[in-house]
Amino acid sequence: MHLNLEDYMLPCLSKTFFGLECLGCGFQRSFLLLINGNFIDAFKMYPAVYTLIGLFLFILLNFKLKFKHSKKIISRLAYLNLSIMIINYLIKINF
């Protein structure tokens, strides 16, 4: 039996109800491309995929290892991700 992960993807409520993509549109598809080894396509689909994974991994590691300046690092990574997501969104809606 072949498992097709695309069958389990959540629809974007913003796109479904309002016809507008949100800042997160494309992350699931990008992550799936990443899992399948399509690293460049994953970045093209959703440029923040790598930095978001880095942020989540850092947060998970911080639960176990308790880094010294973790709050500062997490907030900077969050701002970096938000910046990438906003820039990507603005490019997407204008082109």
User: DSSP string covering 55-87, please?
Assistant: HHHHHHHHHHH--TTHHHHHHHHHHHHHHHHHH
Give yes or no for a contact between 42 and 30, defined as CB atoms under 8 angstroms apart. Answer: yes
pLDDT band at 29 (very low <50, low <70, confident <90, very high): very high
25 in any annotated domain: yes
pLDDT, tens digit, 9 for 90 and up, residues 48-86: 999 999 999 999 999 999 999 999 999 999 999 999 999
Establish if 85 belongs to a structural domain.
Answer: yes
In a domain, 73, yes or no: yes
pLDDT band, very low/low/confident/very high, at 2 (cuts 50, 70, 90): low
Domain membership of residue 5 (yes or no) is no
Q: Looking at the domain assignment, is residue 77 inside a domain?
A: yes
Instruction: Flag whether 74 is in a domain.
Output: yes
Residue 66 belongs to domain spanning: 14-94
CA distance 46 to 12: 14
pTM of the model: 0.84
The number of folded domains in the chain is: 1
Q: What is the rounded CA–CA span in Å between residue 87 and residue 95? A: 12
